[in-house]
Amino acid sequence: MADPIVLVERDGRVGVVTMNRPKQLNALSGELMDALVATLREFDSDPDTRAIVLGGGERAFAAGADIGELSAGTPVTLYESGHLERWEAIRAVRTPIVAAVSGFCLGGGCELAMLCDLIVASETAKFGQPEINLGVLPGAGGTQRLTRAVGKAVAMDMILTGRMLSAREALAHGLVARVVAREAWLAEAKRVAGEIAAKGPVAVHLAKEAIDAAFEVPLSAGVELERKSFFLARASEDADEGLKAFLEKRKPDFTGR
């Protein structure tokens, strides 16, 4: 039997999804994207899963969209295949997703990592948007999310020349949250996800939503959303528990209510 195209495991309250097309450096074929969307949605609808790790292999997180499929498809078949909706479905996941990146993280792979909520990178990671070398440009948000993450100068440099950033450069430019030793990338991503999973899910979901809104709305509207989200979180049982636990000098036990 063929190996599954994504590997799925659970580590306590953390769902772990691993892309598994190693021979093609996890090129994001339609089949791989469909499997990713289905798995992420399943974890997202499970209240016992409070954070997700999305990873690839040691050599590549993902080397981009599947170039064979891109070249075989016409613009119309690509548009009609539901390709665009898959990216939107991943963006819509409410559970925080930690991208665990080792090796190549290119093109659609980099866009996928940027769709996640934070990136933990191995010191071996290489980030790039090399679509320009193929005569195209990023198509899944790269020109927008990369520019918001690293600023215009570095985004122009990467997207117009195809230059890759090392993990350290990506950290310095604000694209990734943490860089760790080669052997620690996956364990560290799971540890970070485990830390998030131990917090109150209501506050976590509201905080994720408010941070994402910072890229969509003016400051005053974002601050207003934050204020309302604060009071909504304060109305949760988890806030009662968190505040009480602090005063009682014990660890809180959040239930997600």
* Minimum gap (Å) between residue 161 Cβ and ligand DAK: 13
Is residue 61 within the footprint of ligand DAK (CB under 6 A)?
A: no
What residues are paired with 98 via a beta bridge? Answer: 53, 118
DSSP secondary-structure letter at 24? G
169 binds ligand DAK (CB under 6 A): no
Q: With binding defined as CB under 6 A, does residue 137 bind ligand DAK?
A: no
Site string for ligand DAK, 90-109 (x = CB under 6 A): --------------x-xxx-
Instruction: Indicate the residue among 45 and 161 with the shorter CB distance to ligand DAK.
Output: 161
Is 33 one of the binding residues for ligand DAK (CB under 6 A)? no
Considering only 61-69, 186-194, 206-214, 237-245, which stretch makes contact with ligand DAK by CB under 6 A?
Answer: 61-69
Using a 10 angstrom Cβ sphere, with 0-12 exposed, 13-18 middle and 19 or more buried, the burial of residue 131 is buried
Q: Which residues are known catalytic residues?
A: 65, 108, 111, 131
Spatial contact of 111 and 141, defined as CB atoms under 8 Å apart: yes
Residues near ligand DAK (CB under 6 A) are: 24-25, 27, 63-68, 83-84, 87, 104, 106-108, 130-131, 134, 139-140
